[in-house]
Structure 1
Amino acid sequence: MNKAERLFSLLTLLRSKRYAVTANQLAEQLQVSERTIYRDIQSLCASGINIEGEAGVGYVLRESGQLPPLMFSEQELIALELGMKMVQAWSDIELATASKSAAAKIKSVLPDRLKNENPAPTILVPCTHKETEFSTFNKPIRQAIDKKEKIELVYHDHAGIQSKRVLQPLGLVFWGKVWTLVAWCELREDYRNFRVDRIDKLKTLGQMFETSGNKCLEHYISRYSSK
């Protein structure tokens, strides 16, 4: 990594931190010496970047109108493009639209050399599902998760047998082919999984619920990943 790349990486790290970060922490992440970090901080300050702090205490980036545009490496751009294509192919319409908007914003801050490049795609993410499989229910489920609002759904199992459940939705998990809703089932008083493509009807109930250390997505993951 040359100095210019290192300075951009250092600035990106500082941008991502809300609080002061020490030279030792920065050095570990960039895999350089603390002395190099001190010199690079001085170089950024000399170029007009508003960095506050001192050796032994830590550094924090303050708001400034002189920050250079966000930069990405070629591999970072490939990773971002791949991720956004996956969102567009496998999520609901709202997230797909947001992904396209994000892609346009990222492109707007790229240098002209990268903006004008349009290489043939080498990694494809084909959309192989029916649009209604996810787009019908993923959005209201996401909204219910965000609001902590109970939902009622009519669901059919692999044999086609229907059941009705009142759920406290906790998270959505994508398994590479199907989306699964992780929820607290009020009938079973325990966690249950529901394939989104097997939901026949869904409605929000306008009733709020609370999560806790023993009833949340993180607890579910820790509980079942340890088995």
Structure 2
Amino acid sequence: MRKAERLFQILTLLRSKRGVITAQQIAQQLEVSERTIYRDIQALSLSGVPIESEAGVGYKLKANFSIPPIMFDEAEIEALLLGGRMVESWSNQSMAKAASSALAKIHAVLPDKLHQLSVEQPEWLIVPQFNSAQYQQHNEQISSAIKNRQVILLNYQDEAGNLTSRKVWPLGMIYWGKTWTLVAWCTLRQDYRMFRLDRIQTLDNLTKFFQTREDISLQHYINLIKQQQQRYSG
């Protein structure tokens, strides 16, 4: 990696962090030595970039520092288009609207060569639009409950057609392709459960709230799944 490219990436990392980032963390990200990072930080500081350092803590940019807008290359534009169009097609209405707005802002700042790429969908970039009413029902309401850590009451029909009523702590949602699934802590079973959104009959956000714990959280659930996969593969 050329030094100029490395300096740019260091600056990008500093801009993306609200707090401090250590030389070790930067070195691991860029796959170089910490000594190289120390030299690069010094070079950025000498060039006028206001980097604050705290001994034994790390580096951060001074508040209110800004640089000219970052420009994207062709591969990055294609990645942004793919991600944006997936959100437009498969997420809830508010997220789809936000994705469309973000893509429009990207279009507005691109040079002519890349602007044409952002307008014309590449032949390989096909994102089918599924029936949002059928497959994404309750998506926005559940998203709000996850953010607010709000208990929800749902009436659910399982694969066999059985109806059940559950109070759950919504932890996260997974998209499996055409179907969104809620990962939740079920207060009835006192265990993690997954609920397909298209099988939820009714859903109410209650006035009760919850706090995640080390043993009840989305990350804990993911770790359990990883452990299961490791046992199976082993």
TM bracket, shorter-chain basis: 0.7 to 0.9
User: In the alignment, which residue of structure 2 is the partner of 1:30?
Assistant: 30
Q: Secondary structure at the match of 1:172?
A: strand
User: In the alignment, which residue of structure 2 is the partner of 1:104?
Assistant: 104
User: In the alignment, which residue of structure 2 is the partner of 1:166?
Assistant: 167
Report if aligned partners of 2:50, 2:61 keep a CA contact under 8 Å in 1. Answer: yes
CA distance in 2, matches of 1:73, 1:195: 38
Per the TM alignment, residue 61 of structure 1 is displaced from its structure 2 partner at its CA by 1.5
Greater Cα offset, 176-185 or 41-50: 41-50
The 1:54–1:196 alpha-carbon spacing in structure 2 relative to 1, beyond 3 Å, is: closer
Greater Cα offset, 136-145 or 173-182: 173-182
User: In the alignment, which residue of structure 1 is the partner of 2:231?
Assistant: none
The 1:203–1:34 alpha-carbon spacing in structure 2 relative to 1, beyond 3 Å, is: closer
Report if aligned partners of 1:50, 1:63 keep a CA contact under 8 Å in 2. Answer: no
Once the two structures are superposed, what CA deviation does each residue of 1:70-107 show, in whole Å capped at 9, x if it has no partner? 23333222222211111112111111111112223334
Per the TM alignment, residue 58 of structure 1 is displaced from its structure 2 partner at its CA by 4.3
Amino acid at match of 1:161: N
Q: In the comparison of the two structures, how many residue pairs are matched?
A: 227
Report if aligned partners of 1:155, 1:201 keep a CA contact under 8 Å in 2. Answer: yes
CA distance in 2, matches of 1:150, 1:25: 37
Once the two structures are superposed, what CA deviation does each residue of 1:106-160 show, in whole Å capped at 9, x if it has no partner? 3445456534544541332433521202443001111111112221222112232
Report if aligned partners of 1:8, 1:71 keep a CA contact under 8 Å in 2. Answer: no
Per the TM alignment, residue 190 of structure 1 is displaced from its structure 2 partner at its CA by 2.0
The 1:167–1:53 alpha-carbon spacing in structure 2 relative to 1, beyond 3 Å, is: closer
Any residues of structure 2 matched to 1:162-201 within 5 Å, and which? 162-201=163-202
CA distance in 1, matches of 2:33, 2:12: 18
Question: Unpaired runs of 5+ in structure 1?
Answer: none
CA distance in 2, matches of 1:145, 1:30: 34
Once the two structures are superposed, what CA deviation does each residue of 1:3-53 show, in whole Å capped at 9, x if it has no partner? 443332121012123444444543443234556545543443344321233
Once the two structures are superposed, what CA deviation does each residue of 1:164-217 show, in whole Å capped at 9, x if it has no partner? 222222211112231111122222222211111111211122222232222222
Greater Cα offset, 203-212 or 100-109: 100-109
Amino acid at match of 2:176: W
Question: Unpaired runs of 5+ in structure 2?
Answer: 229-234
CA distance in 2, matches of 1:212, 1:170: 11
Report if aligned partners of 2:90, 2:136 keep a CA contact under 8 Å in 1. Answer: no
Report if aligned partners of 1:49, 1:67 keep a CA contact under 8 Å in 2. Answer: no
CA distance in 1, matches of 2:24, 2:74: 28
Report if aligned partners of 1:151, 1:166 keep a CA contact under 8 Å in 2. Answer: yes
2:201 corresponds to 1:211:
no
Greater Cα offset, 21-30 or 129-138: 21-30
Report if aligned partners of 1:49, 1:64 keep a CA contact under 8 Å in 2. Answer: no
Greater Cα offset, 8-17 or 62-71: 62-71
Greater Cα offset, 115-124 or 76-85: 115-124
TM-score, normalising length: structure 2: 0.81
CA distance in 1, matches of 2:54, 2:158: 61
CA distance in 2, matches of 1:59, 1:177: 43
CA distance in 2, matches of 1:192, 1:55: 46
Identical pairs, percent: 50
Amino acid at match of 1:30: L
The 1:40–1:188 alpha-carbon spacing in structure 2 relative to 1, beyond 3 Å, is: closer
Q: CA RMSD in A?
A: 2.8
